Chains A and B, each alone.
Chain A
Amino acid sequence: SQTIHQWPATLVQPVGSPLSLECTVEGTSNPNLYWYRQAAGRGLQLLFYSVGIGQISSEVPQNLSASRPQDRQFILSSKKLLLSDSGFYLCARSYGPGYTFGSGTRLTVV
């Protein structure tokens, strides 16, 4: 199983508050993990990817950060949320020549 667990499913946070979204994966060890954001009516934007513990690559400089404290755990964080951080966040893992996606978190910053 290459299942991805992502939570929470829905989150409403005030501007300026911190954020922590967690993604955990099952299956083969040392997976490549990814965080994507999808703004309303838009495509998927790659935010971060990780090829191993402590290894994070950022694709888009912004108000967010990512960490990988354990092999199967990938966390997306922010110290102070902005209105523009609202969107749908998807965690994914590469599995051979394919991706498995989590069920996503819908974040609304108010």
Chain B
Amino acid sequence: AQTVTQSQPEMSVQEAETVTLSCTYDTSESDYYLFWYKQPPSRQMILVIRQEAYKQQNATENRFSVNFQKAAKSFSLKISDSQLGDAAMYFCAYASPNTGNQFYFGTGTSLTVIP
């Protein structure tokens, strides 16, 4: 079974600094996708970034980037120049077309941004 593990329940970062959120996963599939979702206090789930497993290049979206280590099954999220609006719960997620693209979520990391 696919599992997604986020070992950091809470993290904090100073405004304008950089923070890295960790995620590991377990799968026997070769074709899959990894995601980071942000859930602010409004509870709306917002896609932050997506990585296709077949791509070696790490995905980047503005201040957000990932470190995808396929062999180690690691998928960390780096937030650069942290802003107050980045404060939220962050969920790592896995999906594979071989399992109907059903999502498997980690338990989340609560990020606090300190002004």
Contacts and interface: CB of A to CB of B under 8 A. Distances in A.
A43 B35 contact: no
Nearest to B6: A43
A92 B106 contact: no
Interface in B93-114: 93, 95, 97, 100-103, 105-108
A104 B105 CA distance: 17
A83 interface: no
A32 B47 contact: no
Q: Taking chain A's interface residues, is the majority helix, strand, or loop, or is none over half, making it mixed?
A: strand
B33 interface: yes
Interface string A35-54: 00010001110100101000
Contacts of B91: 43-44
Contacts of B107: 42-43
A77 interface: no
Interface string A12-53: 000000000000000000001010001000111010010100
Given A97-B33, A98-B33, A32 B100 contact: yes
A94 interface: yes
Given A42-B107, A43-B107, A97 B45 contact: no
A108 interface: no
Give the interface size class of chain B.
Answer: 20 to 34
Nearest to A96: B101
Q: How large is the interface on A (under 10, 10 to 19, 20 to 34, 35 or more residues)?
A: 20 to 34
Contacts of A90: 43, 45
Nearest to B101: A94
A58 to B, nearest CB: 13
Contacts of A43: 91, 105-108
Nearest to B33: A97
Interface string A88-103: 1010101011110101
A92 B43 contact: no
Interface string B39-56: 000111101001010000
